[in-house]
């Protein structure tokens, strides 16, 4: 072995366990349901049930009023009640209680006052936050190194909202964990409670090898979400309820890619484009016989076609979009097998619903009836809302742009900041406007990856899949339910950097804060600086909307929803003039 | 037809219509043997204040005063329109009094600098976009120092590795000055790749005298010369964009002051019936 090589153990899945589980804890778990009924022999030696419980779970002890999950949080784990009870709040709680108070929109007077009230020094705060004196109904405490937020006077709180009690052996949070969707309800500890928290990887592996648990979770999904999702698919709008019911029963769930895709993606993990496409899990391969109609449930998939020795991106599909319908229609019309014309690959992580070919032939196509052409058109419209017409030849420049957007996973953005470098005079009016509207602190950097004369700036894109929200211990970073903007509540941010480390686009920056006199605030215990996460808030509190876009004199900067590639295409098209 | 062409045609048509309306009004006044000077003067003064207010708008991004793009379009077309109003107001290209002459010169310079700026802001960005990296203006001096340090390290390493000084001698003679700092004012006015090409040619010529180790260093110097030239280009072009605006705003302040003074004097010495 040369001196330039050092032998180290290969990193393995459980090198960084989810929690600090002891062998005795695992023994205890294996004696109770549902783990007692799981056949440990169904697990391969490389992935034993015991290992999953040791590495992918942790036990949390909660006190009365502790918030276990908040409605709207991005979950990556499910919970099993081991002792005590918890309460699922049936109605939406006051945003302030959840640490998500919307910043009030400034009045004209307050807006003008920014002229003289903005701090002269960077990152000045009146207080370090976290324990917000303005909100005496919420507190925080430290539980074995984990920050916990608790509500006070829970009974009075629940008087108005109503709740459901869950007891020992019951599971909650599994759908949000598996489908990467926001938590649909807030759960509070009802007295002292002990919960087993299992991260999604472990839950997925147990589901794969334990039919009972898989059926239980899938049944929950079928009951709660699947029909709604099918109804939201344009292709299935007009199907009668009984047909939707049958389609729902036959639908298969599939997941591709890595749920934690952001952990090995970003500027530090740059790959050759060909390598990157090859590494993306294949969902459907060009030339294969269609096995069903594919509906994207969450995440993104790259639709590509063979081109020379590589693959050319034609489009990317997001939630609600379908793949393979035209082949099935053609096959139905001609009576001949038509192979998939394109390949579909998972970009990051994708949840797919597969409606088997027979079901499409027997239930969907006949019920489209005379509107079959309309169905085809609708599908085309759906895809065109995000892509060019996949049937037509796309230009080489479009293909390169799509490759760029997919390779960098910018398709995740709903408010991506694009700068046309052919028009940008580098005047920095956008940066100055951002600073002026954020207490003299710019919240983005006018730098970023370039494609020809298009630059994607390092500004929060307010992602469809906001991985930054995963793991925030206080729920300080959250998506605004009304606007979809991902915001950080400065008062409840504890500066743990989880969000900044998770963001693959480098859009969140940790800053050291100062008091109004200019002195840096430091932790009295460790003397380390107190940090806060900062990023673009899309000027939520301003009267003007995004100051950056408004401040650009040259039509060079725009915030774009990447799901609307038609809009992007129009904006790009006009730069030619 | 692109969005921008359509917008140009629409705004130019509106400008022509507005100017035609003003000319019609001036002629109507003159047909009644009335003076239009006061009216066109006030119109001109209002236009100058409006044009100057764009800079104020930029300082108030937190107020819903309309997008900067719309303001710039108004600024451009009202600015061009003031030339027509000025002609109607002054009736001569070169007024006789010294204050009026000074005011006219300031006006011409302000309009001229605006048109130059319009040209620069439309032509320089594509030139900058063609250079491989996007470079922040404020960071250019730091990047320059970095490139210079790297170049010196390359030369020192090649001397240490080869024991020869051919590359070092060439560096001292030809490249030291190039890496030392910013380019001169000539490059600022008209940046060309002539020096870069010349240096590349000379480096190519000197390669035949270099040892194998020095040739490796020479290759790295090629890259650094390109990088330095890109930095200089960004520096020069971005500096022009900033200097232009600095000059235009300075002239605008002077124009506002002189225009107000001219207005006050015009009223003070207006004469007529008390």
- Say if A109 falls within a structural domain: no
Q: Provide the pLDDT for residue A388.
A: 38
Q: How confident is the model at residue A25 (pLDDT cuts 50, 70, 90)?
A: very high
CA–CA gap between residue B83 and residue A481 (Å, rounded): 52
Asked whether the predicted pLDDT for residue A369 surpasses 60, the reply is: no
Contact A426 B137 (CB under 8 A): yes
- Where residue A364 sits, what CATH number does that domain have? 2.60.120.10
Beta bridge partners of A558: A418
Of chain A, the percentage scoring pLDDT greater than 90 comes to: 27
Question: What does the DSSP 8-state code read for residue A576?
Answer: T
What digits encode the pLDDT tens for the residues A124-143?
Answer: 988 766 544 445 555 666 66
Let me know whether A470 and A500 are in one domain. Answer: yes
Nearest residue in B to A427, CA atom: B242
Q: With CA atoms as reference, report the closest residue to A130 among A143, A145, A147.
A: A147
Q: Copy the structure tokens of residue B143.
A: 């990047």
Asked whether the predicted pLDDT for residue A468 surpasses 70, the reply is: yes
Q: Provide the pLDDT for residue A460.
A: 96
Let me know whether A63 and A200 are in one domain. Answer: yes
Q: Cβ contacts (< 8 Å) between A547 and chain B: which residues?
A: 61-62
Let me know whether A313 and A457 are in one domain. Answer: no
Give the number of domains in chain A: 3
Residue B56 contacts A, CB cutoff 8 Å: no
- Say if A288 falls within a structural domain: yes
Largest CA distance in chain B: 95
Q: Greater confidence, A160 or A70? A: A70
Let me know whether A474 and A387 are in one domain. Answer: no
Distance from the A549 Cα atom to the nearest Cα atom in chain B, whole angstroms: 8
Nearest residue in A to B127, CA atom: A422
Phi, psi of A138, rounded to the nearest 5 degrees: -125, 140
Contact B125 A426 (CB under 8 A): yes
Q: Cβ contacts (< 8 Å) between B72 and chain A: which residues?
A: 553-554
Q: Greater confidence, A283 or A1? A: A283
Residue B272 contacts A, CB cutoff 8 Å: no
Let me know whether A374 and A286 are in one domain. Answer: yes
Asked whether the predicted pLDDT for residue A392 surpasses 70, the reply is: no
Let me know whether A153 and A177 are in one domain. Answer: yes
Asked whether the predicted pLDDT for residue A376 surpasses 60, the reply is: no
Determine which of B11, B62, B73 to mutate to test the interface with A (most A C-beta atoms within 10 Å): B62
Asked whether the predicted pLDDT for residue A371 surpasses 60, the reply is: no
Distance from the A501 Cα atom to the nearest Cα atom in chain B, whole angstroms: 25
Give the pLDDT mean for A381-405: 57
Q: Which residues of chain B have pLDDT under 70?
A: 271-274
Domain encompassing residue A248:
233-404
SS3 A386: coil
Nearest to A114 among B4, B62, B121 (CB): B62
Number of Cβ pairs < 8 A linking chain A and chain B: 92
Residue B1 contacts A, CB cutoff 8 Å: yes
Q: Greater confidence, A410 or B251? A: B251
Give the pLDDT mean for A547-565: 92
- Say if A470 falls within a structural domain: yes
Nearest to B58 among A425, A429, A556 (CB): A429
Let me know whether A396 and A423 are in one domain. Answer: no
- Say if A328 falls within a structural domain: yes
For chain A, the average pLDDT equals 82
SS3 A141: strand
Q: Cβ contacts (< 8 Å) between A555 and chain B: which residues?
A: 4, 69
Q: Indicate the burial class of A531 (C-beta count within 10 angstroms; 0-12, 13-18, 19 or more).
A: buried
Let me know whether A155 and A280 are in one domain. Answer: no
Lowest mean pLDDT among A114-123, A381-390, A507-516, B100-109: A381-390
Q: Cβ contacts (< 8 Å) between B134 and chain A: which residues?
A: 421, 447, 450, 455
CA–CA gap between residue B44 and residue B99 (Å, rounded): 17
Nearest residue in B to A439, CA atom: B62
Distance from the A399 Cα atom to the nearest Cα atom in chain B, whole angstroms: 20
Asked whether the predicted pLDDT for residue A309 surpasses 70, the reply is: yes
Q: Provide the pLDDT for residue A336.
A: 85
Lowest mean pLDDT among A47-61, A301-315, A381-395, A403-417: A381-395
Q: Greater confidence, A574 or A526? A: A526
Q: Indicate the burial class of B175 (C-beta count within 10 angstroms; 0-12, 13-18, 19 or more).
A: buried
Q: Provide the pLDDT for residue A370.
A: 47
Let me know whether A360 and A431 are in one domain. Answer: no
The residue among A361, A384, A404 that closes a domain is A404
Distance from the B190 Cα atom to the nearest Cα atom in chain A, whole angstroms: 18
Nearest to B68 among A111, A429, A573 (CB): A429
Determine which of B8, B63, B68 to mutate to test the interface with A (most A C-beta atoms within 10 Å): B68
CA–CA gap between residue A68 and residue A332 (Å, rounded): 50
ipTM of the complex: 0.90
Residue B249 contacts A, CB cutoff 8 Å: no
What digits encode the pLDDT tens for the residues A202-253?
Answer: 888 888 888 888 887 777 777 767 877 787 787 787 788 888 888 988 998 8
Question: What does the DSSP 8-state code read for residue A39?
Answer: -
CA–CA gap between residue A300 and residue A318 (Å, rounded): 5
Q: What 3 state SS string does chain B have?
A: CCHHHHHHHHHHHHHHHHHHHHHHHHHHHHHCCCCCHHHHHHHHHHHHHHHHHHHHHHHCCCCCCCCHHHHHHHHHHHHHHHHHHHHHHHCCCCCCCHHHHHHHHHHHHHHHHHHHHHHHHHHHHHHHHHCCCCCCHHHHHHHHHHHHHHHHHHHHHHHHHHCCCHHHHHHHHHHHHHHHCCCCHHHHHCCCCHHHHHHHHHHHHHHHHCCHHHHHHHHHHHHHHHHHHHHHHHHHHHHHHHHHHHHHHHHHHHHHHHHHHHHHHHHHCCCCCC
The residue among A354, A376, A404 that closes a domain is A404
- Say if A99 falls within a structural domain: no
- Where residue A560 sits, what CATH number does that domain have? 3.30.70.20
Distance from the A414 Cα atom to the nearest Cα atom in chain B, whole angstroms: 21
- Say if A77 falls within a structural domain: yes
Q: Provide the pLDDT for residue A387.
A: 41
Q: With CA atoms as reference, report the closest residue to A506 among A426, A567, A445.
A: A445
Give the pLDDT mean for A304-312: 81
Phi, psi of B75, rounded to the nearest 5 degrees: -60, -45
Q: Copy the structure tokens of residue B47.
A: 């236009």
Q: Copy the structure tokens of residue A277.
A: 């496409």
The residue among A367, A382, A404 that closes a domain is A404
Q: Copy the structure tokens of residue B84.
A: 């027509």
Residue B246 contacts A, CB cutoff 8 Å: no
Q: Provide the pLDDT for residue A229.
A: 78
Of chain A, the percentage scoring pLDDT greater than 70 comes to: 84
Nearest residue in A to B122, CA atom: A423
Contact B71 A553 (CB under 8 A): yes
Let me know whether A76 and A156 are in one domain. Answer: yes
Residue B123 contacts A, CB cutoff 8 Å: no
Let me know whether A313 and A427 are in one domain. Answer: no
Beta bridge partners of B166: none
Contact B63 A112 (CB under 8 A): yes
Let me know whether A368 and A414 are in one domain. Answer: no
Q: Copy the structure tokens of residue A122.
A: 């960077």
Distance from the A430 Cα atom to the nearest Cα atom in chain B, whole angstroms: 9
Contact B68 A552 (CB under 8 A): yes
Asked whether the predicted pLDDT for residue A393 surpasses 70, the reply is: no
Q: Provide the pLDDT for residue A266.
A: 65
């Amino acid at each position: 072995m040369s001196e330039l090589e050092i032998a180290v153990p290969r990193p393995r899945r459980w090198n960084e366990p989810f929690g600090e589980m002891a062998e005795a804890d695992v023994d205890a778990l294996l004696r109770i349901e549902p783990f007692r009924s799981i056949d440990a022999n169904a697990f391969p030696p490389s992935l034993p049930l015991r290992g999953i419980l040791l590495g992918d779970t942790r036990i949390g002890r909660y006190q009365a009023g502790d918030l276990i999950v908040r409605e709207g949080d991005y979950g990556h784990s499910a919970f099993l009640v081991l002792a005590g009870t918890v309460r699922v709040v049936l109605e939406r709680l006051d945003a302030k209680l959840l640490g998500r108070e919307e910043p009030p929109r400034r009045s004209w007077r307050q807006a003008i006052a920014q002229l003289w009230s903005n701090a002269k020094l960077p990152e000045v705060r009146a207080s370090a936050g976290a324990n917000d004196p303005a909100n005496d109904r919420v507190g925080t405490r430290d539980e074995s190194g984990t920050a916990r937020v608790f509500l006070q006077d829970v009974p009075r709180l629940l008087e108005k909202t109503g709740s459901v009690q869950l007891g020992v052996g019951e599971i909650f949070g599994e759908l949000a964990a598996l489908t990467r969707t926001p938590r649909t309800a807030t759960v509070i500890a009802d007295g002292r409670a002990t919960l087993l928290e299992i991260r999604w990887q472990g839950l997925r592996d147990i589901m794969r090898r334990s039919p009972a648990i898989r059926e239980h979770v899938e049944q929950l999904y079928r009951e709660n979400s699947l029909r709604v999702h099918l109804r939201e698919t344009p292709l299935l709008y007009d199907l009668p309820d009984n047909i939707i019911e049958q389609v729902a029963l036959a639908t298969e769930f599939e997941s591709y890619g890595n749920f934690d895709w952001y952990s090995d993606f970003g500027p530090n993990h740059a790959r050759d484009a060909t390598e990157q496409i090859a590494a993306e899990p294949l969902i459907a391969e060009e030339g294969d016989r269609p096995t069903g109609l594919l509906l994207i449930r969450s995440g993104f998939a790259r639709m590509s076609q063979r081109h020379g020795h590589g693959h050319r991106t034609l489009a990317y599909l997001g939630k609600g979009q379908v793949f393979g319908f035209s082949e099935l229609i053609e096959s139905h019309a001609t009576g001949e097998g038509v192979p998939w014309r394109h390949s579909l690959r998972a970009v990051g992580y994708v949840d797919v619903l597969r409606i088997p070919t027979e079901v499409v032939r027997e239930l969907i196509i006949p019920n489209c009836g005379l509107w079959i052409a309309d169905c085809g058109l609708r599908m085309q419209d759906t895809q065109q809302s995000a892509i060019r017409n996949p049937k037509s030849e796309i230009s080489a420049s479009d293909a390169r742009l799509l490759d760029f957007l997919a390779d960098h996973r910018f398709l995740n953005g709903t408010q991506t900041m694009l700068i046309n470098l052919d028009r940008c005079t580098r005047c920095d009016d956008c940066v100055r406007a951002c600073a002026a509207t954020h207490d003299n602190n710019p919240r983005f950097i006018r730098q970023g990856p370039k494609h020809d004369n298009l630059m994607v700036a390092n500004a929060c894109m307010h992602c469809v899949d906001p991985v930054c929200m995963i793991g925030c211990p206080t729920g300080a970073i959250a998506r605004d339910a009304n606007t979809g903007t991902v915001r950080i509540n400065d008062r409840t941010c504890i500066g743990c950097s989880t969000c900044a480390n998770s963001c693959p686009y480098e859009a969140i920056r940790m800053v050291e804060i100062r008091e109004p006199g200019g002195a840096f605030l430091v932790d009295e215990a460790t003397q380390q600086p107190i940090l806060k996460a900062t990023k673009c808030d899309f000027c939520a509190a301003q009267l003007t909307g995004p100051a950056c876009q408004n401040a650009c004199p040259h039509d060079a900067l725009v915030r774009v929803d990447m799901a609307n590639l038609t809009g992007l295409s129009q904006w790009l098209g006009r730069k030619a003039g | 037809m692109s969005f921008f062409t359509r917008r140009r045609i629409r705004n130019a048509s509106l400008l022509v219509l507005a100017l035609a309306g003003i000319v019609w009004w001036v002629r109507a006044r003159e047909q009644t043997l009335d003076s239009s000077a006061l009216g066109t003067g006030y119109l001109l003064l209002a236009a100058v204040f409006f044009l100057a207010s764009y800079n104020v708008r930029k300082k108030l991004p937190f107020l819903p005063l309309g997008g900067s793009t719309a303001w710039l379009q108004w600024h451009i077309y009202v600015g061009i329109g003031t030339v027509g109003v000025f002609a109607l107001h002054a009736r001569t290209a070169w007024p006789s009094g010294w204050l009026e002459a000074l005011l006219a010169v300031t006006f011409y310079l302000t309009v001229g600098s605006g048109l130059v700026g319009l040209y620069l802001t439309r032509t320089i960005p594509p030139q900058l976009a063609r250079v491989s990296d996007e470079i922040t203006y404020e960071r250019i001096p730091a990047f320059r120092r970095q490139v210079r340090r790297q170049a010196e390290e390359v030369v020192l390493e090649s001397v240490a590795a080869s024991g020869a000084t051919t590359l070092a001698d060439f560096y001292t003679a030809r490249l030291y000055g190039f890496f030392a700092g910013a380019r001169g004012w000539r490059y600022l006015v008209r940046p060309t790749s002539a020096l870069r090409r010349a240096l590349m040619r000379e480096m190519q010529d000197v390669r035949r005298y270099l040892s194998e180790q020095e040739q490796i260093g020479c290759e790295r110097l090629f890259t650094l010369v390109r990088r330095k030239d890109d930095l200089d280009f960004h520096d020069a072009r971005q500096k022009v964009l900033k200097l232009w605006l600095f000059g235009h705003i300075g002239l605008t302040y002077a124009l506002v002051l002189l225009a107000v003074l001219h207005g006050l004097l015009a009223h003070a010495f207006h004469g007529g019936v008390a």
